[in-house]
Structure 1
Amino acid sequence: MMKVIILLDQIQAGLGGKEKGDTPLGGKKLAMGAADTIDKALRKMDSEIIGTFYCGTDYYQENKIEVKRKVAKMCEKMQADVVIAGPTYDYPDFSTMACELAENIQENTVIPVVALTAIEKNEALIEQYEAALTIVKMPKKGGTGLSDSIDHALELCRLKVANEETSEFVTQYCY
């Protein structure tokens, strides 16, 4: 059984739109917003979301060091097996926050991380992080193929948690 933590912005967590960008870092020990779809797929794998961390993108930009430190510490404290950053769709501010948090977790903990980002509006960001992170390809908001992307992300989580070879998988489904 995998214990998964999801990282979302305030929009994907269901806490409001861009006007709520000042939402401070928070979390709940359940699947929130966009994490609900992932949780349903995880339960079929006899796994679960043990927490959803959320943060407004404006708040994050003003408090990066503190947010990065707290997220990494909480992932360790909750003993997550893996962290999923996203799905970020084609939202540049959220995608940036997700990649920065993912890289920090990867560098400062032993917890593997999988990111989900659409290339639309995020091409430069993906180029910046694709060597350091495994970023699963996903559609932009409203695009087709979301359930496939989630399945790919969860399979990559499973492979990472089991310490199995991922290079062939990454070549096929990641940037």
Structure 2
Amino acid sequence: MKIVMVFDQIQAGAGIKDDHMVPLGIMKGAVGPAIMMEPYLKAIDGHVLACLYCGDGYYAQNRQECLRKYCAMVEKIKPDVVICGPAFNYLGFGRMAAEVALAVQETGTSQAIAALSEENEETIAVYKDRVPLVKTPKKGGIGLDRSLRAICDLADALHSGDSVRISELQKEYCF
């Protein structure tokens, strides 16, 4: 299974917390949380082709352009699944993750998932019935391994098209 990850500047290692204006970019292979996910990805025969990233401030100021470019890059790379996050309790990144996942899903190019913590309550309220939102702990919280495994299991189910398994995983791990 081919995977593309979507991160903010922090998760991608392209900037620090205060670097909100990092423009959209791409890195080949796994970086940041994608490296932590490798044991779970191996279990589902998943491989991260690329990590797309953008500062949450840049995204907020250039939302339509960024969504268009994210979708175009996904269409060019042709992954089976796009995983946006984990955004943890970063509110700007959480909103970006959910919006990008929905936009990718709506293009029909790829299945998409967003992952964020309950602190993103406004984003969850808007997107929980439109795109799978996997529950994660807040940054530094307990339960990250469980969340990373859930993200990978759901990606595998979406890729296989197993609607029963998708439904079960969403009930257990999603908002």
Q: TM-score, normalised by structure 2?
A: 0.94
**Cα deviation 1:24-68 (Å, max 9, x = unaligned):** 100011111222112343134322100000001111111111111
Secondary structure at the aligned position of 1:18 is classed as: coil
Q: How does 1:109-148 map to 2 (within 5 A)?
A: 109-120=108-119, 122-148=120-146
Q: How does 1:130-169 map to 2 (within 5 A)?
A: 130-165=128-163, 166-169=166-169
Secondary structure at the aligned position of 2:153 is classed as: helix
Select the structure that is richer in helix. 2
Q: State the Cα distance separating 1:10 from its structure 2 match.
A: 0.1
Report the number of matched residues. 173
Structure 1 spans left out of the alignment, 5+ residues: none
Using the alignment, how far apart are the partners of 1:61 and 1:124 within structure 2? 15
Query: Would you say 1:172 and 2:169 are equivalent positions?
Result: no
Query: What is the Cα-based RMSD across aligned positions, in Å?
Result: 1.1
Aligned residue in 1 for 2:38: 39
Q: TM-score, normalised by structure 1?
A: 0.94
Using the alignment, how far apart are the partners of 1:45 and 1:127 within structure 2? 30
Q: State the Cα distance separating 1:149 from its structure 2 match.
A: 0.5
**Cα deviation 1:41-99 (Å, max 9, x = unaligned):** 31343221000000011111111111111111111111100000100001101001111
Q: Is the 8 A contact 2:15 2:22 kept in 1?
A: no
Using the alignment, how far apart are the partners of 1:78 and 1:32 within structure 2? 17
Q: Is the 8 A contact 1:76 1:109 kept in 2?
A: no
Q: State the Cα distance separating 1:8 from its structure 2 match.
A: 0.1
Using the alignment, how far apart are the partners of 1:148 and 1:73 within structure 2? 31
**Cα deviation 1:87-118 (Å, max 9, x = unaligned):** 00011010011111111111123311111110
Q: Is the 8 A contact 1:72 1:109 kept in 2?
A: no
Aligned residue in 1 for 2:25: 26
Aligned residue in 2 for 1:99: 98
